[in-house]
Each structure stands twice: as structure tokens, then as C-alpha cells.
Amino acid sequence: LHVIRGEYAESIEACTHAFAAAADPLNRALAAGFLGLAYLESENAARAIPLLEQAAAHFGESRWPQYGGWFVVFLSEAHALDGDLEKARALSIQGLQMTTDAKHWFAVGWAQRALGLVARASGALTEAEARFDEAVRIFTSLEASYCVARIHVDLGALAHLRGDVTDAAFHLTEAHRGF
């Protein structure tokens, strides 16, 4: 909850406590993954990557592949944040496949968003828009309004890159409504 409110220090503190207190491999992997996500959201890729790698490895080899795929998607975002777009793209594709196979539709939406972020960062704006639109479609079908709003922020940034002030304003207005 702290992460989606932008309360990164509180999120990192809570997840650090959970990580330290985790008594078994399952809970330790979950705590590592969510601590990694907290670092990712606070834009600290260096701290996020090893934690997300740990969580992705644990769940990729377990009977809970939906979590493995989700953490792979977050790991891809961390690599994109770190500037390694090639690795980010490969991990996003892997995460999309894993989450699709697991029928974890919420994480499929995040994988589409991650692919959109990578495409936008690499200048493939048409692909970015298609990925973001697919993420909006998925999150709308799941009634995940916060996620839809977040993608509208991404679409607004994309419109800004294209120099389309009208489209940027539309998407930011939609984001504001969703938040």
C-alpha cells in the first residue's frame, strides 16, 4: 500500500522488516520480491535487481510460476531503469510468456506495460502505444482502475514525446480521474 501512495521509505522499511523476519524460503522469496519492487518504485535499480533476481529464481523453479513471471516483469523494469534495454526487453518477453502460461492476467498487463516502457525508451513509439493500449484493455477488464490510470500516465508521456499536447492532456486527465 505504501508503494502505490508513493511512500517509498515506508514501503522499503516494511518490506525490509518482512525480509529479515521471513522464516522459510517461500516467505523470504516473497519478501525479497516485494522489497525489490519497493526499490524499483523508488527508482533504485541497483538495490532492486538482486532482490528481484532472487525472487524470480525461486518462483521460476517452484509450483507458483505466476509469481516467477511477475517478478521477472519487475526485474525487466529494473533493468530498463538501469539503462539495459536489451536485457529489459528479453526479460519482459520472458515474463509475458510466463504470466500468460500461468493465466495470471494482472501480471500479463504489467508485462505489456513493461514492454511498452522498453519500446518507448528505445524509440519504438508505435510499438509502445500498442503495448500500453493492450495493458489498458487488460486492466480495464480486471477493473484495476489504479493500473489503468498508471498506464494513462505512460501514454501521456508517450504523447509528449510525439509532441501531441492534446493527446498528452487527454491521457493525464484520464490518469487523474483514475487516481
The three cell numbers of residue 8 are 517509498
Q: What is the mean pLDDT of the chain?
A: 94
- Cα separations (Å) of 67 from 31, 36, 108? 12, 13, 11
Q: Using the 8-state DSSP alphabet, how is residue 1 labeled?
A: -
Cβ burial of 87 (10 Å; 0-12, 13-18, 19+) is middle
Dist. CA 172–CA 85, nearest whole Å: 26
Q: Which residues contact 17 (CB under 8 A, 6 or more apart)?
A: none
Quick: pLDDT tens for 37-65.
999 999 999 999 999 999 999 998 778 88
Predicted confidence band of residue 1 (pLDDT cuts 50, 70, 90): low
Quick: pLDDT tens for 75-134.
999 999 999 999 999 999 999 999 999 999 999 999 999 999 999 999 999 999 999 999
Q: State the CB neighbour count (10 A cutoff) for residue 3.
A: 18
So what's the pLDDT on residue 137?
98
Kindly report the pTM of this predicted structure. 0.93
Burial 61-79 (b: 16+ CB within 10 A, else e): eeebbbbbbbbbbbbbbbb
The three cell numbers of residue 91 are 526479460
Dist. CA 172–CA 44, nearest whole Å: 25
Please give the average per-residue pLDDT across 158-173, as a whole number. Answer: 97
Whether 114 and 78 have beta carbons less than 8 Å apart is answered as no
CA angle at residue 27 from 23 to 32, to 5 degrees?
Answer: 110
The three cell numbers of residue 84 are 539495459
